[in-house]
Structure 1
Amino acid sequence: MFKYERHPNILRLLGYFQDDIYFVLILEYAAKGELYKQLVKSGRLKKKKASRYIAQTARALSYIHQKHVIHRDIKPENLLIDLNDEIKIADFG
């Protein structure tokens, strides 16, 4: 995991702990889940919502690229949506 300042469209790592068997990550809560599940449920997004999500994703990717980080697995399953309908990029591997 890389060190970064807070960005509104990157899922935050709040903490972690481990025991002899497990390593547990404590992540920011994305109440509306994966973008993929919304697409499966509705079939498509309205143009306004799709353009907002694309812009938010582009800003987040631009930010991490400035930090010399490449995601390598951008897909709807790794784009989460919070309660305020904001995209959160997740799963940095």
Structure 2
Amino acid sequence: MIPFTGPGIILVLVVYFGGILLVGKLPFVSSLPFKTQVLLVLLTHVVLSVVNYFLAKFLNRNGVKNTVAGLRLEKVVLFMSIVFSFIILLMVYGEFKE
């Protein structure tokens, strides 16, 4: 198990995956073409990653209270956002390479 301090990581995960889930539940999304849905996933990821980064910065504004495996929460959020961005960009590349 990965050690963490503070409720920050749980809040960040709820915001990210909850946001992805809510965007997927919008009524007009299922009627969009698949390529547009892929771009919507990319846009949603970027927006939620920025929101989570600033949320993590806000949670640690008065000293380090929220850490994951000894690292500041905002550094972990930034690293995971880059990893997920790479995966999503591979999906976008696969869809648009035709």
Smaller-chain TM-score range? Answer: 0.3 to 0.5
Q: TM-score, length-normalised on structure 1? A: 0.35
More strand by share: 1
Q: State which structure, 1 or 2, has the greater radius of gyration over its C-alpha atoms.
A: 2
